[in-house]
Amino acid sequence: MMAERDEPTGALVRPYAVTRGRTRPRLEIALEALVETTVRGRSAGATKGGQGREHQYIAALCDGRLQSLAEIAARMQLPLGVARVLIADMAADGLLAVYEPTSLDDTNDAVGTELLERVLSGLRRL
């Protein structure tokens, strides 16, 4: 894993430079979607310098541990939109797997309660 001083931060790099001026992700990703590095992401250059520092950090952060989009953005100190674009690019390239939450309907309160409990549990772990 990268050292703390190597972590990319939004304060050091302008968001439009990180995303090459793009503001829309290739894929729509929910805030609470879980992200994991794929086998291809581990073996490709994502963790070995084949991509930018942000890509390397995301791949290392999600290697062996599911992280939500919100957690990744917070740890990288980047706006959610920037993190969403980076993660969507990596997912489209097969470097990350994104697990979207199930959709909720008004007729299933048990699923809604379960989702809220998972969110609360995740917040407590922060």
Give whole-number Cα distances, 42 to 28, 53, 58, 67, 68, in Å. Answer: 23, 15, 11, 16, 18
pLDDT in tens, 1-36: 444 445 555 454 566 666 666 667 777 888 889 999
Most confident of 6-20, 34-48, 99-113: 34-48
Structure tokens at 29: 């990703």
Threshold 0.85, pTM exceeds:
no
What's the pLDDT score for residue 74?
92
- 44: DSSP letter: S
What's the pLDDT score for residue 23?
63
Do residues 120 and 49 make contact, with C-beta atoms less than 8 angstroms apart? no
What the chain holds in terms of domains, given with CATH numbers, is 17-124 (1.10.10)
The two beta strands, 34-37 and 96-99, are antiparallel
What's the pLDDT score for residue 46?
46
pLDDT in tens, 56-88: 899 999 998 999 999 999 998 888 888 898 999
Task: Summarize the confidence of residues 95-108 as an average pLDDT.
Answer: 74
What's the pLDDT score for residue 100?
87
Task: Summarize the confidence of residues 114-126 as an average pLDDT.
Answer: 80
